[in-house]
Copies of this chain bind each other. A is one copy, B any other.
């Protein structure tokens, strides 16, 4: 068996390319937001007030990286942190008006880009690839009970 027959290198390389390209597109459009920050905004849009460690879990980030990412975004008024009364350790993260505004500007740009990326690929092909990658993801998470984050 060789590497070229395996999905893993393909995903690694293409993932890198996608990340770099999306960041570049945002920068070229003068949007002061990284791809990683956009993902946070998207999660908050769907689930406002989510605790930091849930964000770390979902994004598969180290909690310290996420802490600093959130700090930067808070400095830029994209979101705010609020400690809960029930558990003073937890800081819930809320989208600000400005954060929502930036999200609404950025979302169509990202969607347009990824549609361009997927041009000429059928819905069926996309769904099948998603299913396969999903299996892969489950295998990795199960086989190695990875401590990328502190989630119990």
Give the B-binding residues of A (Cβ under 8 A): 1, 3, 5-8, 10-21, 24-25, 35, 42, 59-60, 111, 114-121, 125-137, 139-141, 143-144, 146, 148
Contacts and interface: CB of A to CB of B under 8 A. Distances in A.
Contacts of A129: 7, 10, 128-129, 132-133
B18 A130 contact: no
Copies per complex of this chain: 2
B11 A133 contact: yes
Contacts of A19: 12
B132 A126 contact: yes
A60 B114 contact: no
Nearest to A115: B1
